[in-house]
C-alpha cells in the first residue's frame, strides 16, 4: 500500500488478523523511529534499517529518500538486474522496495493515468465523487484492455479513446451524423413533370406526429437538409434539428400553434 494508508498502528492490527503488509511510509506517523525522521544526507544506494517489534522500518536513498514499512520482510539487500551507470556496478536495493515496485507498479500506473484525465468534480455528496472515480478507473482499465487485445495496428491515444467513448454514447442517444456532420439547406427538388419548381413538404421538426395532428395546423417548407434528406424550416428548425437530440423540444407550444 502507499503512504496514505501505511502506519505502525494499522500494520500491528493487520498482524493480529494474520495479514502481512508492506508499503511506503510517512515519517510523521506516530511511533516512527527518530532515525527515520532525521533529515540526513544519505549517499545514493545507502539505507537505514530499524526494527520495532515485528515491524521493519527502512530509509533508502536513490534519487530521493524512500521510507518503507513492512511486517514480513527482513533487513536484506537484493541485486536489481541493471548496473549503475556511474560505477558500472549492480544496483542494490532493500528487498521490501524490490517487492513493492514489482507488485505496486500497476496500481501506481493506474493512479497516474487517472490523474491525466480527471472527471471528479467538487460535490458535498461523497458517493458522487466515489462513483465518478470508479467510472474513471473503468475507462482506464478498458483502455489498457484495448491496447492489449485490439487487432488494429494504429491505436487510439488515451485522449482519443475517451473521445471515441463520448461519441459512442452520443450515437446511442441520437444520430451522430445529424449532430456532428456538415449540413446545408437546399430546395426540395421537384418531381419530373410537376407544376411547382420547389414543392413543399411537412417540416419534421415543427410538426406533430400524424396521429396527434387533430386540430393542429401543419407547417410545410420548401427546404430540406442536403445530407439528412428531411424537410426543415429555415433557419430555426434547421438549427434545432442539427444541434439537439430532442429537437422537437426546442419548439414551444406557441410556435406549434
Q: Where are the domains of the chain?
A: 8-116, 126-173, 177-256
Rounded Cα–Cα distance for residues 200 and 220 (Å): 6
Half-sphere CA count of 27, side-chain side, radius 13 A? 14
Reported confidence tier of residue 63, pLDDT bands at 50, 70, 90: confident
Q: Which H or E element spans position 148? A: helix 126-149
Distances (CA, A) of 109 to 70, 104, 113, 115, 177: 22, 9, 6, 10, 36
Reported confidence tier of residue 45, pLDDT bands at 50, 70, 90: confident
Rounded Cα–Cα distance for residues 109 and 107 (Å): 5
pLDDT 10s digits, 74-88: 999 998 876 665 666
pLDDT 10s digits, 243-256: 887 787 666 544 44
CB-CB contact of 75 with 50 (8 Å): no
Q: With CA atoms as reference, report the closest residue to 33 among 43, 48, 21, 45.
A: 48
Q: What is the DSSP string of 91-144?
A: EEEEHHHHHHHHHHHHHHHHHHHHHHS------S-HHHHHHHHHHHHHHHHHHH
Amino acid at each position: 500500500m502507499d503512504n496514505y494508508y501505511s502506519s505502525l498502528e494499522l500494520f500491528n492490527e493487520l498482524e493480529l488478523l494474520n495479514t502481512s503488509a508492506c508499503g511506503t511510509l510517512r515519517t510523521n506517523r506516530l511511533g516512527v523511529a527518530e532515525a527515520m525522521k532525521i533529515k540526513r544526507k544519505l549517499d545514493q544506494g545507502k539505507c537505514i534499517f530499524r526494527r520495532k517489534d515485528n515491524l521493519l522500518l527502512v530509509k533508502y536513498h536513490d534519487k530521493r529518500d524512500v521510507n518503507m514499512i513492512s511486517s514480513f520482510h527482513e533487513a536484506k539487500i537484493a541485486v536489481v538486474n541493471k548496473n549503475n551507470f556511474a560505477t558500472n556496478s549492480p544496483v542494490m536495493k532493500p528487498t521490501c522496495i524490490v517487492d513493492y515496485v514489482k507488485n505496486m507498479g500497476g496500481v501506481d500506473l493506474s493512479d497516474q493515468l487517472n490523474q491525466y484525465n480527471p472527471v471528479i468534480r467538487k460535490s458535498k455528496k461523497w458517493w458522487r465523487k466515489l462513483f465518478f472515480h470508479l467510472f474513471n478507473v473503468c475507462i482506464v482499465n478498458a483502455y489498457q484492455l484495448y491496447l492489449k487485445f485490439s487487432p488494429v495496428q494504429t491505436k487510439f491515444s488515451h485522449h482519443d479513446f475517451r473521445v471515441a467513448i463520448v461519441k459512442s454514447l452520443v450515437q446511442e442517444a441520437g444520430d451522430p451524423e445529424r449532430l456532428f456532420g456538415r449540413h446545408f439547406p437546399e430546395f426540395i427538388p421537384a418531381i419530373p413533370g410537376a407544376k411547382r419548381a420547389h414543392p413543399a413538404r411537412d417540416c419534421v421538426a415543427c410538426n406533430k406526429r400524424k396521429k396527434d395532428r387533430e386540430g393542429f395546423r401543419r407547417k410545410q417548407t420548401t427546404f430540406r437538409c442536403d445530407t439528412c434528406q428531411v424537410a426543415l424550416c429555415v433557419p430555426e428548425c434547421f438549427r434545432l434539428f442539427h444541434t439537439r437530440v430532442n429537437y422537437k423540444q426546442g419548439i414551444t407550444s406557441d410556435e406549434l400553434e
